[in-house]
Chains A and B, each alone.
Chain A
Amino acid sequence: DTGVSQDPRHKITKRGQNVTFRCDPISEHNRLYWYRQTLGQGPEFLTYFQNEAQLEKSRLLSDRFSAERPKGSFSTLEIQRTEQGDSAMYLCASSRAQGESNEQFFGPGTRLTVL
């Protein structure tokens, strides 16, 4: 399967702990996006990368959140000192930077539960 993969699929943690999620995009895609989806809501944009450059960050991305894409391939999203309000599905997507198809392909998500 050459789709977007995310790891882990589920994460349960205690408040105050740090967590890190990984996203592997489709190999030829140089754009990578992170979104957060809470129950009953649509996905909300967090940040995106073109290659290794982080081009935009949402105000939702507080200083406890950091995302990296060090070699322009996979990306990690770290949440420090987790809070119960961080409980959500974290979605990763990837796309080509240019071309006819501007579709963002989404991964299955990582569901975070903060106790």
Chain B
Amino acid sequence: AQSVTQPDIHITVSEGASLELRCNYSYGATPYLFWYVQSPGQGLQLLLKYFSGDTLVQGIKGFEAEFKRSQSSFNLRKPSVHWSDAAEYFCAVGSYYGGATNKLIFGTGTLLAVQP
């Protein structure tokens, strides 16, 4: 069965420090992987996605993620965190059918707090 695990429920980092959020997936075929961010009162916003090709993908807001098939991981990174990055981050895996991903399966999320 498809699943996504985000082992860290809550992470606190200092502003300016680097960040890595972990994501492990279980999927039988080639996964389509996504990172979304959710701020209070806001909808989910896509940060980046991986479909194929280069395993290091760049996203918005200075985020990047690396797909490692051997580790079934898709960790999100940012070299220097800003206070505005405080939010909840969700990793998701999508199956691909008929020219597009259909349903997304999300992890339980990692809540990021940023200390001044």
Contacts and interface: CB of A to CB of B under 8 A. Distances in A.
A62 interface: no
Contacts of B96: 102
Interface residues of B, number: 27
Nearest to B107: A42
A108 B41 contact: yes
Contact of B103 (A4, A48, A102): A48
A55 B100 contact: no
* Interface of A: prevailing SS: loop
Nearest to A4: B43
B100 A96 contact: yes
A58 B4 CA distance: 17
B108 interface: yes
A95 B92 CA distance: 16
Contacts of A40: 108-109
Contact of A104 (B4, B99, B104, B107): B104
Interface in B43-65: 43-46, 49, 51
Interface in A80-115: 91, 93, 95-99, 102-109
Nearest to B90: A42
Contacts, number: 69
Nearest to A33: B103
B106 interface: yes
24 contacts: A3-B43, A40-B109, A41-B108, A42-B90, A42-B107, A43-B44, A44-B106, A45-B103, A45-B104, A48-B102, A55-B102, A56-B102, A56-B103, A91-B43, A93-B44, A95-B100, A96-B100, A97-B98, A99-B100, A103-B49, A104-B46, A106-B43, A108-B41, A108-B42
Interface of B: 4, 32, 36, 41-46, 49, 51, 90, 92, 94, 96, 98-109
Interface of A: 3-4, 31, 33, 35, 40-45, 48, 50, 55-56, 58, 91, 93, 95-99, 102-109
